[in-house]
Amino acid sequence: MELQKPYYPACVIAILIVLLFGLSNVCQLYLLKDTYPVSKLPVGSDYLCIYSATQNLLHGISPYESKWYCSPSSPDYLKNLFIYFNMDKAAPWYCYPPILAYLNYPSVYLEIDTALRLMFFLLIGAVLSAYALINSSFQNLKGKEREIILLYGLIIILLSYPFYFLIVRGHMIGIVILLLAMGIYLVQKNNPASGVCFGLSIGMLLFPALILVPLFLFRRYKIMIYTFLTLFLLILFCPGLWWLFLKNILVLNIATRDWLSENGSLANTFFYFNIFFGKTMGLAGFQFRLTHYNEAALAVYALMFFAMTLADYKVRKKYGTLDMNIEIVLMLMYLPFMIAVPKVVFQYDLVMLILLIPALCSLTQVLKKPMPQPIFWLFSGGIALSQIQAHSLQNLLNPRYDLFHFFPAFGLFLVMIGCVAFKLWFWRVYPLRMQETCS
């Protein structure tokens, strides 16, 4: 059977995103309303909390204290941020592991406006570099085909609402995405330095710790040792601050209130499911209300994660060493699960889903028997929806419940289902011919 062109998945996703972007522009032209792709906040409004935490360290204060950004010398536009987010100035604004504040140390010698603008361009470079690294991680993507996939990825990134959200807010998840991409790129070279990249990413934001699961299942023990060693050294650097973070700040984040606008979490998806099924059942004369949608989302997450890891375990146990391209694909499918854990997942995290596009392209060459079409469209449709211009459409059409912010969250959910479905299919159906098709 003739193989599909390797760039076919990237082309399909790019076309879907271009169409959705065009639809947003047509709506704006028809309504003649001013809108913006993101909230009108100062550039780097999220990065300010990291900058202020590093300023605290510079003055011998805990990064979790609020003394710097409450001081008279704080920039005037910080006051608007506190009003916009309805924040208590006495509460800790910085809510990340302490290492992130230390790693940001060089920026405090810059003027704050310079640091904010610099982070804007650094995040652009980080996301583009991460995509290029993942694209280069697959040895079966070569020459012009790899360049075309890179070009489609550039189009997708430049039309992505989560990407706009990320670079305007200045969130450091962009650097974490780059570290994960570097680690995965080095894994395919069997370089233990990948463990250093993974350790740094975990030390910065914690959720990349899920990368340890595929490393363990695929017996990358040396890389795991380097990851744990790096993380141990990071904790040893400031154990008191780590304890403060784990005891107080992390618990506070877990108990955070629901936030519907700009939320891409599973909990948000299930909230909208609750509304939809409640309205539908109400029309039929039945009452339906899912009061514990957070718990339901957590249960579904746990079930999907268990099914995915079980499939990986079964595949690895039966067939031993996997083709490197397949192993990298299976590893990348843990990325959506990294960002779906909390009740509040701001949609800049969804940039991470773009890294799956080269993996889908690689599968067109590795799999002689193509994946089922429903699984392909779960990936393609989910990634496209996750990048939709949700903020612009919400402002233009102004539906109830911040409805357009549901679509990126639902896109993440579809991608997660696609990851689970692909791994179960690969375990139960495809491996019957695996010896003939994977080299």
Helices (H), strands (E): how many in the chain?
A: 22, 0
CA distances from 176 to 23, 202, 205, 215, 239 (A): 32, 8, 8, 18, 22
Longest pairwise C-alpha distance within the chain: 70
How many Cβ atoms sit within 10 Å of the Cβ of residue 398? 12
Q: What is the pLDDT of residues 68-100, one digit of tens each?
A: 655 555 566 655 555 555 555 556 677 888 898
Q: Which of 319, 281, 375 is nearest to 9 (CA)?
A: 375
* Angstrom distance (rounded) from CA 276 to CA 261: 17
Q: What is the pLDDT of residues 262-294, one digit of tens each?
A: 777 788 888 887 777 777 766 766 666 667 777
Which pLDDT band holds residue 437 (cuts at 50, 70, 90)?
very low
**pLDDT computed for residue 1 by the predictor:** 31
Enumerate the domain spans of the chain. 8-437
Return the higher-pLDDT residue of 422 and 259: 422
- 234, two tokens: 């990071």
**Confidence (pTM):** 0.90
The residue count for the chain:
439
